[in-house]
Amino acid sequence: MKPLISVIIPTYGREEPLRDTLKDVLLQDYPAFEVLVVDQTATHQPETQAYLEELANSGKIRWFRVDWASLPGARNYAVRRAVGEIVLFLDDDVLLKPGYLEAHARNYLERPEVGAVAGRVFDRMKLEDSGNKLTIEDLPPEAMDPGIAWYHIDLVHTVKPQRVLTARGCNMSFRREIFTKHGLHFDER
């Protein structure tokens, strides 16, 4: 049986990119997921407002309106309300390929010792600037050194699974028990 995935999307001030992200998530063919949108935007454009209301009213998303703005706060808020075995964090401006949720879940199903997954992030602007040739087969050893790994941030364009030192918040997932059992939370300072 596939684990339930809680897809968490904090949003602030996004309109069309948020709608595009939600469309991509809802098109996933994974059989068991919920979508939690923590909306920190005071007023949306009418088209976005109507779209979010439609999704919430039809039960396709859980839409939480809050009157404060904090990315780590929104993530913590959603984790406390998530019911999935896996919590997956997206930004409100990402595009997903088919099979995205399945790819995250597979890591947990195939290897019970895995507690977190950092997905690849392809920066559209950097890819365009490089002529779509910005991919790397293997991370160099320096990318595993906590002292200098940040100099290798562009190495999110790797093409095969491997161990990583850091995760990009726009594409990362965790077993929810890490939050509940170990008291993990995002630092809101």
With bands split at pLDDT 50, 70 and 90, how would you rate the model's confidence at 108?
very high
Q: Which domain holds residue 39?
A: 1-119+167-189
Are 106 and 15 in the same domain? yes
Are 114 and 128 in the same domain? no
Are 47 and 76 in the same domain? yes
SS3 state at 125: helix
Q: What is the CATH number of the domain that holds 102?
A: 3.90.550.10
- Over pLDDT 90: what percentage of the chain? 62
Are 11 and 65 in the same domain? yes
pLDDT of residue 122: 59
Are 22 and 101 in the same domain? yes
- Over pLDDT 70: what percentage of the chain? 74
Structure tokens at 82: 């998530």
Q: Cα separation of 155 and 91, whole Å?
A: 19
Sequence-ordered alpha helix ranges (H) in the chain:
16-26, 46-57, 71-81, 100-110, 124-129, 176-182
Q: How far is CA 94 from CA 12, 14, 171, in A?
A: 14, 11, 9
Domains contained in the chain, number: 2
Give 2's DSSP letter.
P
- Average pLDDT of the chain is 84
pLDDT of residue 48: 98
Are 104 and 134 in the same domain? no
Q: Which residues are CB-contacts of 42 (< 8 A; sequence separation ≥ 6)?
A: 67
Are 87 and 38 in the same domain? yes
Give 92's DSSP letter.
T
Q: Which residues are CB-contacts of 14 (< 8 A; sequence separation ≥ 6)?
A: 41, 92, 93
pTM: 0.82
Are 84 and 15 in the same domain? yes
Residue 81 has pLDDT above 60, yes or no: yes
Cβ atoms of residues 138 and 158 within 8 Å:
yes
Q: Cα separation of 19 and 15, whole Å?
A: 6
Are 142 and 101 in the same domain? no
Are 130 and 162 in the same domain? yes
Are 2 and 42 in the same domain? yes
